[in-house]
Amino acid sequence: MTYRFLLTWRWLGIFAMAALFAAICVGLGNWQLERRNQAVAEIRRVQQNYDKSPVSFGEARQLFETADADAKWTTVSVSGRYLPEDQRIVRNRPNNSAPGYEVLVPFRLASGETIVIDRGWLPIGNVRPGYPDAVPEPPRGNVSAVVRIKPSEPALDRGAPEGQLASIDLTGYARQLGYPLMTGSYGVMASESPRPAEIPQPLSLPSVQEGSNLSYAMQWITFGVLAFVGFGYVARQQA
């Protein structure tokens, strides 16, 4: 058998297409591996931080100023009072696969600094399109709360109605207020005292399932290898 035909432009073109297909498959495989690494890192943060005993605000203060990915879900105890007049509703926030909203309220600490607390989730309303039917008020006066830290989100290139936000972009939120706001991270409410009669629904627990990204990555890499296997088979048949 002779394989001199592989040096013809036709077969060189076929080989180039097989190589391009393999490169695309490897790229998609690496993308799935990166997603898997992100999922594993998030699981590690949940396991390390979510159920730990709360630290004081003084110990976690820097995390509210500047986000630290490894500190996500760190539990912090805070004391102060809500500023309900500056409350905002965040649009398009699914919870347990149901569409709805999240409720953000600035929280003025005893030190005079202000953070944002996500008090929970509300379902889509039936009375007025684009709004929840009712938003439970936060407790008045001095409040003790336990929150879990999450980093501020990127700004989205879309608007929101009055009193609402498109994302939990703390820097954008701060521009709407007449006082300084700590914009690195916010707190997702775990508990508060005194507890009002009505509260938003708690957010769903963070997932600790790795998902199928690793198997998808292996599938894409296998497809890339098969591109060369197929090329070799066709070449042998031609010979």
Query: pLDDT tens digit string along 222-231?
Result: 888 888 888 7
* Token pair belonging to 156: 């989205």
Higher-pLDDT residue of 106 and 233 is 106
Same domain, 158 and 222: no
CB 213 within 8 A of CB 144: no
Q: β-strand 100-109 against 114-123: which pairing, if any?
A: antiparallel
| pLDDT over 80 (residue 207) | no
Cα maximum dimension of the chain: 90
Same domain, 129 and 99: yes
142 vs 64, 80, 181, 199, 210, CA distance in Å?
21, 5, 19, 17, 41
Q: For the whole model, what pTM was predicted?
A: 0.79
- Domain containing 27 equals 4-42+211-238
Is residue 202 one of the residues assigned to a domain?
A: no
Is residue 200 one of the residues assigned to a domain?
A: no
Domains in the chain: how many in total?
2
Q: State how far the Cα of 74 lies from the Cα of 66, in Å rounded to an integer.
A: 14
* pLDDT of amino acid 37: 85
pLDDT in tens, 121-154: 999 988 888 889 889 999 999 999 999 999 999 9
Same domain, 103 and 185: yes
Single-letter code of the amino acid located at 13: G
Same domain, 66 and 90: yes
Helices (H), 56-169: 57-65
* pLDDT of amino acid 127: 84
Same domain, 122 and 234: no
Exposure class string for 150-181: b at 16+ Cβ within 10 A, else e: bbbeeeeeeebeeebbbbbbbebbbeeeeeeb
Same domain, 216 and 186: no
CB 138 within 8 A of CB 118: no
CB 115 within 8 A of CB 64: yes
Is residue 76 one of the residues assigned to a domain?
A: yes
* Token pair belonging to 118: 């996500």
For the chain, how many residues are written?
Answer: 239
pLDDT in tens, 144-182: 999 999 999 999 888 888 889 999 999 999 999 989 999
Same domain, 15 and 74: no
Same domain, 31 and 58: no
Same domain, 22 and 139: no
Same domain, 172 and 68: yes
Same domain, 183 and 67: yes
